[in-house]
Structure 1
């Protein structure tokens, strides 16, 4: 069965003096418009460039992490057609649209692009008080597990991954996307649908940890974030403010704890 997240192109491959006509697998990238229906209102919320697939999860996760809805049960239905995901809310549900107002298209690498004013970057977040404890040896094993399950990355080399893991080091959900913020939204949307208690799990990122990913995890109530790459200065600052354990450079048997070392059993 074909994978919508993978596209193919005819290429000319040059290796030293050998020239070969062949086919190459690419990470698919297409626009997705997220529309919201509530009461008599029908409106476009955003257009994002994403890897096709799990679009219903992406739409639900986006609305939740942007603070537009506060629970999955607010959704009556999600329909998808021709790169448009339409989310219909239950009667009586009023979305909070002010934090998510955008004035231009967001690209695949952008999680907070297009906010109409600086203050709109920040979504209201409660400080995380989870008492979760994660053994250090569990963290060491996570990047290998993530890499082993990145099916689309194996074919294209062009996608980011995000996964939820428990204190035993089991990956519960994994989602890939050309945009790292989309991968997190897809993941959170899937977990919301299954009603997982976010306070019991950690978030694993295949790349760097930027502010927008910390905020999405904080909105969901995820207490631990472990990234294979580096965190940004704003990511560390907000992890401190929101009470999130933030780990970076998780690879090759080592990692840095930037905040929240009390949750890691060393």
Structure 2
């Protein structure tokens, strides 16, 4: 497959002097997600971890319930991009046909092309209580991200979504030019590995919009931690889903916007 980054020429100015050089920039590739040879969506994404993307997108869109619902997956390079060709189990294909929609999203826009306003604000599932975490765990988790963000270290232009548990540390991290895509890739990775999202922290290098909360709820994540602030609608959605939403997570602290019961001075193994 195509490398996720490309070296391009640039002219660097420092003060009154210019010097020729090069820079690595992330690729942004059209990725078509097809089910039983019918195209459902075309997203602009970084061409890496595409099998995870196929599974995670299918889960977050409600097309499948489990990774095993995808009977076959082929990643095919085509002249204009990449096709993720999936074959679904018969019951899931029937469900998809009933709710078929088309969307074309710039850099993983999670809401582009929706057929109605109601679809944008679809109900979210209630997440399990999961476990509790200390403030120290939140800091440790966020500090584990930069070393794993290899594509961002090279390009300074992509988002990341990670998953951290007290026992295993940083379990997985995925990167993409689109923050929604990064979370979908992480979702697919966790689903394929059989890792329950309620056991740890979902870490985001981006702001938290409503569709990020919707994806987290579908994944079953009970705690979201992000470096930036959430939107008002994201907060309302997290409240309904029972998700602990943490934003502005920096070295000097963080802010808890919903369901603070999971965060305390001591780890809480069983949350009421």
TM-score range with shorter-chain normalisation?
A: over 0.9
Matches within 5 A, 1:38-49: 42-49=37-44
Match of 1:78 in 2: 73
In 1, distance between residues paired with 2:62 and 2:122? Answer: 6
Cα displacement string for residues 180-229 of structure 1 (whole angstroms, at most 9, x for unaligned residues): 00000000001111111222122000111111110001011110000011
The 3 A distance-change label for structure 1 pair 152 and 131 is closer
Following superposition, the deviation at residue 95 of structure 1 comes to 4.9
2:50 paired with 1:55? yes
In 1, distance between residues paired with 2:235 and 2:105? Answer: 24
Following superposition, the deviation at residue 252 of structure 1 comes to 1.6
Q: Report the secondary structure of 1:105's partner residue.
A: strand
2:139 paired with 1:140? yes
| Alignment check: 8 A CA contact 1:161 1:180 kept | yes
Q: How many residues align?
A: 260
TM-score, structure 1 normalization: 0.92
The 3 A distance-change label for structure 1 pair 26 and 119 is same
Match of 2:189 in 1: 190
Following superposition, the deviation at residue 78 of structure 1 comes to 0.8
Cα displacement string for residues 37-89 of structure 1 (whole angstroms, at most 9, x for unaligned residues): 1xxxx310100000111111111110110111111111111101110001111
Deviation larger for 230-239 or 122-131: 122-131
Deviation larger for 43-52 or 113-122: 113-122
| Alignment check: 8 A CA contact 1:142 1:169 kept | no
In 1, distance between residues paired with 2:35 and 2:246? Answer: 35
Cα displacement string for residues 217-248 of structure 1 (whole angstroms, at most 9, x for unaligned residues): 10111100000111000110001011000000
Cα displacement string for residues 136-159 of structure 1 (whole angstroms, at most 9, x for unaligned residues): 101012222111211011110000
Following superposition, the deviation at residue 131 of structure 1 comes to 3.5
**Which consecutive aligned stretches of 4+ in structure 1 deviate over 4 angstroms post-superposition?**
none
Q: Report the secondary structure of 1:186's partner residue.
A: helix
TM-score, structure 2 normalization: 0.90
Gaps of 5+ in 2: 266-272
Match of 2:268 in 1: none
Root-mean-square deviation (CA), in Å?
A: 1.7
Gaps of 5+ in 1: none
Following superposition, the deviation at residue 119 of structure 1 comes to 1.5
Match of 1:31 in 2: 30
In 1, distance between residues paired with 2:191 and 2:24? Answer: 32
